[in-house]
Structure 1
Amino acid sequence: MTSKYSHTPFHTFILKVANRCNIDCDYCYVFNSKDQAWRSLPARMSVEVAQAAAQRIAEHVVMYELRAVHVVLHGGEPLLAGPRHLGDLLRVLRDGITSDVEVHFELQTNGTLVSEAWLDLFEQYAVTVGVSLDGPPAANDRHRLTHASRSSAASAVRGIELLRSRPQLFAGLLAVVDLANDPVEVHDYLASFEPPVIDFGLPHGTHDAPPERNDPTVPEYGVWMSRVYDAWLAQPQYEHSVRMLEDIVALSSGAYGAVETLGLAPPASVVIESDGSIEGVDTLRSVEVGASWLGLDVFHESFDAAIHHPKLLHRQQGGGTAALAEECQRCPLVAVCGGGYLPHRFSSERGYQNPSVYCEDLAYLIRHVQGSLQRHGWALGSPGSRVP
């Protein structure tokens, strides 16, 4: 859509429908980071908050003449809201957003609570469901244990298998990269569930608290993901996409990517907390206390107020490189990496005016993918151009 406005509207609305979790992932930016805002937030989103959010989304749709929006139910663990309450939230969201726009409901879960009753509700509202799983049980349980320090793997796999029984509901799998795990083993295990998409995320880190490495002189995360790329290409029997890698392919070919962790396109997502507070990038909780706080809520302000909030102005500069560190502005790979994900650029000395803590990893991975594309006869695009 070509907008008559100079800034990018939100297309994805992430609702924190539950602010508690039944497992205790040690890398979780909500519960195990410096910012402990969850302690003062409601355990679940009320119907009143959902109604206000729906009204604000409807206003945004009309203002920007949007044809489709994505409403993502998130947490914590969203299934802790319970089927009846989550059904009430889905109802008011569906009824409150104008019928002239296509609403895509999505949900991200750890999978351990999925049941046939949940699947019935998801079918009723056409909710597609992604599940977080870091790999085989030993790999998954390095970080994703219950509060009693027990494995969560078997329960998650049971939930995934239930979702597979209704494939139209299964959106894919999300895994966090861990250098201690074998990348090919992780990829092939996740692929065995036949997900449409596998998302790999890098552990959150900043220049003040960098991610763990075995050898700081080696781009280990880039090497790890390069091995995933090779495994992905080597097994054509799998029909899934690997989102990070597909984005690198698209961006290297001159097209736009699909996630805000790569590329220069302005992010188009916004977060609504369980109390109705509006946040831009909730993963900034991994940076410092209050980094994600805007002082806005759906009862008193529109999403347009969030677009114009000083903390989010860098997002509107995303079509270029003005918000990036000078090193990034000069880099030939900037159109693909986009300077890296915003939380990963932070330092207490320079704020977000730094290359990503994964700069060398992203460079290694991008060059690996681009080399593969060139060997297969793909033409790399110029920055900012599009391909059909």
Structure 2
Amino acid sequence: MRTRAHSWRARYGQRFTAPQTVVVQPTTWCNLDCRYCYLPFRKLKAQMHPDVAVALATSVAQLTTGDGPSIGIVWHGGEPLAIGSQKFTALLAPFEELRHAGRVHHYVQTNATLITDTWCDLLATYGIHVGVSIDGPAAMNTDRVDVRGKPAFDRILRGIRRLREHDIPFSVISVVTTDSIAQPEALLSFLAKLGCDSVGFNIEEVEGVNTDRPAPTPAQAEEFWRRTMTWSRAHGDRLQVRELERLAEYLHLIRTGQRTAWEERRLDPIPTVSVTGDVVLLSPELADTTDPAHDDFRAGNILHQPLAEILGGASRLRYVRDFLTGLDRCETECAFFDFCRGAQAANRYFENGSLHSTETNYCRVSRQALVTALTTLAAQEKGQAA
């Protein structure tokens, strides 16, 4: 038994690094009700108590050193700004000594509808990196509505204008749906004019409570990525695309004889801390997911166990072991593993019903289609040159 337990710990250590990111849920509630949202409790107004933030800050202090890399504290939700600036400040306070020492840095992912001058002052004071969720121009943003079903587009733009007025840089995450996936040039042009530093495209996924909407196909995704590459080549100085940057980094390392540097990269366990202090590993999307077979994916609670201890016991969790088994299968069976590095945990669970499964539609549209788009584009250009 000790040999088997040691084997699981060794496999976990081979696959995972120490956490580089901790996702924190200050509230379950969101003032929007986006039609593709995966969160089951977004209409409940639960909020994190400052004691949870204190316990987390104490744990993070044990995981960082003055000369090591800092840990990103990502405030996610729900809508993080929905708790109000005073309560948010109270949650930030326990991390201040660590922030000033360069051991943590803050991120917030927001729908931007609640951003005011007061919020901008707070974001600047604490050096918070801002990510805004917006899906494109008004015609592509119709799924982002409030709880009354009214469009949120104008309110999102208002919040973005405030960020720009205060010279606060921001990135964007856009959900690409079956409607917008056919219009990458219009989407990219809009985002470039918006003033963001970079964009990440999340092609709509079957996840959480978002189970009934049609997902984009691999063929649609390949065309989207191919046209995105073509646009970026012509306008790359205007907007960085997260997925293209990752592919470019991979190719650079391979071409310059640095394959080992790529292959030695390990996964971030991404501990996610809920409003109650419960900790979920592997994918933030697994938080608030009810599954008795996996004890609702709880790895521990930050109020009762330090994060280092929770992470130290990760290999004993059934769902983590299932994920490692699936990861081994991905490496053995999938031609795209060298770039992809393995299927995402939440996508395996929600699409296939099992974390030890392998390929998902997420793999096909967000990883495989990205590679095949580049291959197709290169073949087309070679043919034209000939």
Fold shared, TM-score > 0.5 on shorter chain: yes
The answer for the alignment partner of 1:12 in structure 2 is: 21
Check if 1:184 corresponds to 2:200. Answer: no
The answer for the alignment partner of 1:338 in structure 2 is: 341
CA separation in 1, counterparts of 2:198 and 2:226? 17
**1:238-291 deviations in whole A, cap 9, x for unaligned?**
1x31111211221233379xxxxxx97312421111111111122135986466
The answer for the alignment partner of 2:305 in structure 1 is: 301
The answer for the alignment partner of 1:171 in structure 2 is: 170
**1:273-318 deviations in whole A, cap 9, x for unaligned?**
111111112213598646662151111112223323225645995x
CA separation in 1, counterparts of 2:53 and 2:303? 10
The answer for the alignment partner of 2:82 in structure 1 is: 80
3-state DSSP class of the match of 1:70?
strand
3-state DSSP class of the match of 1:113?
coil
The answer for the alignment partner of 1:21 in structure 2 is: 30
- The answer as to whether partners of 1:131 and 1:172 remain within 8 angstroms in 2 is yes
Identical pairs, percent: 21
CA separation in 2, counterparts of 1:138 and 1:26? 15
CA separation in 2, counterparts of 1:349 and 1:92? 38
CA separation in 2, counterparts of 1:128 and 1:171? 7
Q: 1:335 to 1:374 in 2, by over 3 A?
A: farther
CA separation in 2, counterparts of 1:205 and 1:98? 36
Length-normalised TM-score, structure 2? 0.80
3-state DSSP class of the match of 1:160?
helix
Q: 1:154 to 1:101 in 2, by over 3 A?
A: same
The answer for the alignment partner of 1:145 in structure 2 is: 145
Say which is worse superposed, 307-316 or 196-205, in terms of deviation.
Answer: 307-316
3-state DSSP class of the match of 2:178?
coil
CA separation in 2, counterparts of 1:51 and 1:234? 48
CA separation in 1, counterparts of 2:71 and 2:381? 36
Report the AA paired with residue 30 of structure 1: L
The answer for the alignment partner of 1:354 in structure 2 is: 358
**Alpha-carbon distance, 1:211 to partner:** 6.5
CA separation in 1, counterparts of 2:297 and 2:191? 35
Q: CA RMSD in A?
A: 3.4
**1:117-160 deviations in whole A, cap 9, x for unaligned?**
1011111111121110001112111x111111111000001111
Aligned length: 351
The answer for the alignment partner of 1:363 in structure 2 is: 368
Report the AA paired with residue 224 of structure 1: F
**Alpha-carbon distance, 1:355 to partner:** 0.7
**Alpha-carbon distance, 1:348 to partner:** 5.2
Q: 1:145 to 1:289 in 2, by over 3 A?
A: farther
The answer for the alignment partner of 2:252 in structure 1 is: 253
The answer for the alignment partner of 1:244 in structure 2 is: 243
3-state DSSP class of the match of 1:146?
coil
CA separation in 1, counterparts of 2:47 and 2:274? 9
Q: Which runs of 5+ in 2 are unaligned?
A: 1-12, 259-263
CA separation in 2, counterparts of 1:145 and 1:116? 23
**Alpha-carbon distance, 1:44 to partner:** 1.6
- The answer as to whether partners of 1:205 and 1:286 remain within 8 angstroms in 2 is no
CA separation in 2, counterparts of 1:109 and 1:156? 10
3-state DSSP class of the match of 1:106?
strand
Q: 1:287 to 1:326 in 2, by over 3 A?
A: farther
Q: Which runs of 5+ in 1 are unaligned?
A: 257-262, 378-388
- The answer as to whether partners of 1:44 and 1:274 remain within 8 angstroms in 2 is yes
Q: 1:349 to 1:13 in 2, by over 3 A?
A: closer
CA separation in 2, counterparts of 1:93 and 1:152? 32
**1:152-178 deviations in whole A, cap 9, x for unaligned?**
0000011111111233x3231110111
